[in-house]
Chains A and B, each alone.
Chain A
Amino acid sequence: DIQMTQSPSSLSASVGDRVTITCRASQTTSNYLNWYQQKPGKAPKLLIYTASSLQSGVPSRFSGSGSGTDFTLTISSLQPEDFATYYCQQSSTIPLTFGGGTKVEIK
């Protein structure tokens, strides 16, 4: 199985801050890496697919980069509605696996 490791597991930030979350895979996923946002009581919502493609309707302050085993999700200017938990997920091989999550909290 491909293990997905996110860091940090949590962070505190202020509105307007630039936030970066990293995800490392235990073996290459090529660019088959997705990012999701989850708010309490809701299903995850797709933000970024194939490492860097912005899902339709997602604000452009979200961006993704990376390939192989190392990936990054960046929020260029954190907004109040962005406080949530973020997950990476690989689609390279089954079982499809998720990272442990990064909780973004208000500073």
Chain B
Amino acid sequence: QVQLQQSGPGLVKPSQTLSLTCAISGDSVSNNRAAWNWIRQSPSRGLEWLGRTYYRSTWYNDYAVSVKSRITINPDTSKNQFSLQLNSVTPDDTAVYYCAMYDWDYGRFGPWGQGTLVTVSS
């Protein structure tokens, strides 16, 4: 059974970098039938897919245009986890952030991490 465990700070100052990690158990970040995603949720934006990393003989990333200039998602094979970095945050980036596995065969998200409320405030 795959489980995702998120970690990272819940408060980030404006203009700084938001950093979260998602540890995977029960599967491998190198699974070539999966992708590893970050999704956020806020009252103003609803559920917003931010991006993903996946392995197909080499590592690939896809990012949402809305954050493409500020986002990095990296796999860490030694720890079997992946991370999110979002630079130059503003209060508009305040949201609950989720990591989620994407099953490529069926095009579905699941499981999800527990969610992390990240507040951008000085």
List A residues at the B interface (Cβ < 8 Å): 32, 34, 36, 41-46, 49-50, 53, 55, 87, 89, 91-92, 94-98, 100-101
Residues of A within 8 A of B26 (CB): none
Q: Please report the C-alpha to C-alpha distance between residue A106 and residue B90 in the assembled complex, in whole angstroms.
A: 37
Q: Please report the C-alpha to C-alpha distance between residue A32 and residue B104 in the assembled complex, in whole angstroms.
A: 11
B contact residues, total (Cβ < 8 Å): 20
Residues of B within 8 A of A97 (CB): 49
CB-CB under 8 A for A55 and B46, given A43-B115, A95-B64, A95-B65: no
Q: Please report the C-alpha to C-alpha distance between residue A100 and residue B45 in the assembled complex, in whole angstroms.
A: 9
Q: Which residue of A lies closest to B111 (CB)?
A: A43
Q: Please report the C-alpha to C-alpha distance between residue A98 and residue B42 in the assembled complex, in whole angstroms.
A: 13
Q: Please report the C-alpha to C-alpha distance between residue A53 and residue B110 in the assembled complex, in whole angstroms.
A: 14
Residues of A within 8 A of B65 (CB): 95
Is the Cβ of B108 less than 8 Å from the Cβ of A101?
no
Q: Which of B106, B110, B115 contacts A50 (CB 8 A)?
A: B106
Q: Please report the C-alpha to C-alpha distance between residue A59 and residue B114 in the assembled complex, in whole angstroms.
A: 23
Q: Is residue B47 within 8 Å, beta carbon to beta carbon, of the partner chain? A: yes
Q: Is residue B75 within 8 Å, beta carbon to beta carbon, of the partner chain? A: no
The main secondary structure of chain B at its interface with chain A is: strand
Residues of B within 8 A of A43 (CB): 98, 100, 112-115
Q: Please report the C-alpha to C-alpha distance between residue A105 and residue B109 in the assembled complex, in whole angstroms.
A: 25
Task: Choose among A44, A92, A97 the residue with the greatest number of B CB atoms under 10 Å from its CB.
Answer: A44
Q: Which of B48, B64, B107, B115 contacts A91 (CB 8 A)?
A: B107
Q: Is residue B62 within 8 Å, beta carbon to beta carbon, of the partner chain? A: yes
Closest 3 CB pairs of A and B: A91-B107, A43-B112, A98-B47
Q: Which of A46, A53, A92, A101 contacts B109 (CB 8 A)?
A: A46
Q: Please report the C-alpha to C-alpha distance between residue A100 and residue B42 in the assembled complex, in whole angstroms.
A: 11
15 new A-B contacts at CB < 8 Å, known A45-B110, A91-B102, A92-B107? A34-B108, A34-B109, A43-B100, A43-B112, A43-B115, A44-B98, A44-B109, A49-B108, A50-B106, A50-B108, A89-B47, A96-B49, A97-B49, A101-B46, A101-B47
Q: Please report the C-alpha to C-alpha distance between residue A50 and residue B109 in the assembled complex, in whole angstroms.
A: 11
